[in-house]
Amino acid sequence: MQTYDEIYKLYRKSPKFEGLIPLESQPTYASIALVAALVLIGFAATLPAKASGTPLAVQFVKYTTVSLVGSMFLGIAVVFLTNSFGVYA
pLDDT digits (tens, 9 = 90+) for 43-81: 999 988 877 788 989 889 999 999 999 999 999 999 999
Query: Contact 84/23 with Cβ under 8 angstroms?
Result: yes
Asked if the structure places residue 19 within a domain, the reply is no
Query: Is the residue at 1 inside a domain?
Result: no
CA distance 78 to 33: 9
Confidence of residue 21 (pLDDT cuts 50, 70, 90): confident
Name the domain count of the chain: 1
Domain assignment of residue 40, given as a range = 27-88
Whether the per-residue pLDDT at 87 is higher than 80: the answer is no
pLDDT of residue 29: 95
What pLDDT sits at residue 2? 84
Please report the pLDDT score of residue 63 as a whole number: 92
Can you give the pTM of this predicted structure? 0.73
